Amino acid sequence: MSRVRRTAVVVGMVGAGVAVTTGGGRELLRRQAAIARARIGKPLGEDAIVADKVWKQKTYGGAPLRLLVLGDSIAAGLGVERRKDTLGGRLARGLAGRVHRPVALHTAAVVGSESSALAGQLDALPDGYRADVAVIVVGGNDVTHRVPVATSAGHLEEAIARLRAQGTAVVVGTCPDLGALRPVPQPLRSLGSRMSRQLAAAQVEVAVRGGAHAVSLAHVVGPFFITNPEEMFSLDRFHPSALGYKRTAEALLPSILLALGLAEEIPFGHSAPAAG
């Protein structure tokens, strides 16, 4: 995430706060935005490492299982230096190890995307491409750019419907808790936390209604980011580190296996599609 984009993060949350505060409270949020900008570290750029390939071990046989990753910079894996440490790389390696089959990773996620970009990511897929399972992680940019929750959730619901119509199993990793961003002071950080959790709840609702599995990243992996920020965040203190992506992938894998019919138990923080 560039310095300009990360500045927009705090400005966006301030804009949302202004709608519910006046006078001194408004000025407080502006000062806190300035503090947050001063605390932000070096930018990581706008391009994530390309991790797309067939991930496998020599002992794995059979046709590759096709894994599609859609969404924003977290889905794209921004913040790490090795492709095996990106979210897609972690998911592909972990899934291949569980099913003992090669996994062909295709990352359509784009850094900086909002939920409205999901349609374009699907449109840009190669002709005839159909994934066995798709993982969607999106929402943080919707919150910072003050996109209405209903609008964001609607775009996600449309993407899920398109994928399910072609027989692709879908897993949604809900919007992370922006309250974990330590460079953002209080109460601005709490405001971001509340907004991101509201969006996450709406994402779970549309996911399970549309036949997708949902994983509450705030509940399943969020505590790691809150209690161990130095280890879980990359140098910019906004995107996950290699360990952060590892934990996030581990959080998503149980629902991926459920979506593929390879598991039955629904862990804490995971939601299965609505019956019928």
Which positions are annotated as active-site residues?
73, 236, 239
Instruction: Give residue 105's identity as a one-letter amino acid code.
Output: L
